[in-house]
């Protein structure tokens, strides 16, 4: 057990300070985040809600270093993403962060197990180790039977669990999950949520976007994103 003193000085796992993100489409500029502030301690389980278009997915992408921050900064364990080189950012994304995108983003030409193993492939693991670790992760999520299916042959809920396995196969410090239960019925949602709670119990910090109050109830804290800012 860490002492209270140590906890007090440890920086937050995720910190956003006055973060602004803009998207440009032709001459139109959309300010998706307008001064977002957030602090998430290591091991916390945070739910994020808010109206459609308010900036929730952008917020997760900003934490993963996947969008350009025009103002403010994102820090992970006290370290600003701004100070990282492209290759440091890439390594951080591959090893420290697991992300489940809103539309899962499975690679259509790879089988389920190849999708799960893809981050390990990128990280230079040998192909038999990639396969065995991918299958082990799929077993953990109860989907080993889907290993050789192609994404188009999977239901929405199955695709979600494959995307979750892919996010978790690297054993990340942080899981970013964008409406992970959006396409699931109540029973399937509860299964996924108990997996997330178990992972959180093992120490993974979770930031999860959800519109569903029953799902958010699994988290320790809920914040809202409204017009690109965070309301605690």
Ligand X SMILES: Nc1ncnc2c1ncn2[C@@H]1O[C@H](COP(=O)(O)OP(=O)(O)OP(=O)(O)O)[C@@H](O)[C@H]1O
Q: Which residues bind Mg ion (CB under 5 A)?
A: 56-57, 102
Tell me which of Mg ion, ligand X, none is bound by residue 113, counting a contact when its beta carbon lies within the kind-specific cut-off of 5 to 8 angstroms: none
Contact by Cβ (8 Å): 94, 117:
no
Selection from 44, 11, 31 nearest residue 232 by Cα: 44
Tell me which of ligand X, Mg ion, none is bound by residue 30, counting a contact when its beta carbon lies within the kind-specific cut-off of 5 to 8 angstroms: ligand X
Tell me which of Mg ion, ligand X, none is bound by residue 190, counting a contact when its beta carbon lies within the kind-specific cut-off of 5 to 8 angstroms: none
Residue whose CB is less far from ligand X, 169 or 206: 206
CB of 180 to ligand X, least distance (A): 13
Residue whose CB is less far from ligand X, 58 or 200: 58
Residue whose CB is less far from Mg ion, 102 or 132: 102
- What would the DSSP string read from start to end of 96-133? TEEEE-TT----TTS-HHHHHHHHHHHTT--HHHHHHH
Cα gap 11→13, rounded to integer Å: 6
Binding site residues, ligand X, CB under 6 A? 23, 25, 30, 32, 50, 52-58, 102
Tell me which of ligand X, Mg ion, none is bound by residue 8, counting a contact when its beta carbon lies within the kind-specific cut-off of 5 to 8 angstroms: none
Residue whose CB is less far from ligand X, 150 or 183: 183
CB of 186 to ligand X, least distance (A): 20
CB of 56 to ligand X, least distance (A): 4
Token readout for 146 is 């889907």
- What would the DSSP string read from start to end of 54-99? SSHHHHHHHHTT-S--SEEEEEETTEEGGGS-HHHHHHHHHHTEEE
Residue nearest to Mg ion (CB): 57
Tell me which of ligand X, Mg ion, none is bound by residue 161, counting a contact when its beta carbon lies within the kind-specific cut-off of 5 to 8 angstroms: none
**Radius of gyration from C-alpha coordinates of the chain:** 18
């Amino acid at each position: 057990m860490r002492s209270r003193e140590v906890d007090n000085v440890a920086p937050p796992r995720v910190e956003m300070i006055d973060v602004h993100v803009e998207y440009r489409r032709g001459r139109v500029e959309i300010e998706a985040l307008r001064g977002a502030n957030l602090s998430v301690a290591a091991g916390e389980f945070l739910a994020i809600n808010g109206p459609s278009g308010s900036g929730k997915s952008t917020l997760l992408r900003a934490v993963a270093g996947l969008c350009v921050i025009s103002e403010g900064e994102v820090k992970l364990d006290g370290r600003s993403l701004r100070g990282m080189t492209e290759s440091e950012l890439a390594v951080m994304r591959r090893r420290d962060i697991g992300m489940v995108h809103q539309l899962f983003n499975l690679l259509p030409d790879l089988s389920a197990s190849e999708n799960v193993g893809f981050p390990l492939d990128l990280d230079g693991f040998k192909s038999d180790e990639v396969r065995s670790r991918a299958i082990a992760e799929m077993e953990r999520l109860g989907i080993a039977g889907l290993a050789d299916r192609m994404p188009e042959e999977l239901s929405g809920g199955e695709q979600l669990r494959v995307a979750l396995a892919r996010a978790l196969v690297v054993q990340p410090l942080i899981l970013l999950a964008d409406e992970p239960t959006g396409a699931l019925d109540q029973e399937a949602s509860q299964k996924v949520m108990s997996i997330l709670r178990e992972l959180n119990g093992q120490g993974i910090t979770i930031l999860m976007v959800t519109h569903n109050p029953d799902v958010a109830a699994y988290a320790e804290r809920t914040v809202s994103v409204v017009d690109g800012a965070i309301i605690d």
